[in-house]
Chain A
């Protein structure tokens, strides 16, 4: 069974700083996807960024980028120029065979 571990329960940075959230996973599958989801207090899960395991190039979406290390089974999220609206819970998720497995989440607070 797949497992996803987020070792940082909470993080806090100042607005405009860069922050990196960590995620490790375990799987025996070779084809899979990795995701970062954002969950603000409204509870709506919003997809931030997606990485296909077969792609070596790290995914980027505007201020969001990932560092995907397949051999180390590591998938970290970097948020550049952080904004107050980035305050939320962030979940790392593993997607294999259409089933999503989530980590426990990291609560990120951006301070003015």
Chain B
């Protein structure tokens, strides 16, 4: 079974430029997550989708970050304009779906390392 795919693996941009990341979840997984992992810290959830609807985007800086999941499969995360503090690894994860009384394991992709100069 193929895992979660992300691209690109690395990206270097100047501040105030825009950048986009792509994620392809495991086939059949309804829930998709984007995390931001700053160096030396644990991942922080930015946004969670259930199919193509947003479940939680409370920690997404909406003035510069946007995300979409068209057709409930692939997802893109965009930053416009980028700031120096956006330098981080952006991780995508997917799980089978929301379950009321159990937990669906999240499977993570390899991440995209973003450097903002």
Contacts and interface: CB of A to CB of B under 8 A. Distances in A.
B7 to A, nearest CB: 14
A100 B106 contact: yes
Given A33-B103, A43-B111, A99 B48 contact: yes
Nearest to B55: A98
A105 B104 CA distance: 22
B56 A47 contact: no
A50 to B, nearest CB: 8
A50 B95 CA distance: 15
Given A33-B103, A45-B91, A99-B56, A104 B45 contact: no
Given A43-B111, A44-B110, A102 B42 contact: yes
Interface of A: 4, 31, 33, 42-47, 50, 52, 91, 93, 95, 98-105
Interface of B: 31, 33, 40-45, 48, 55-56, 89, 91, 93, 95, 98-99, 101, 103-106, 108-111, 113
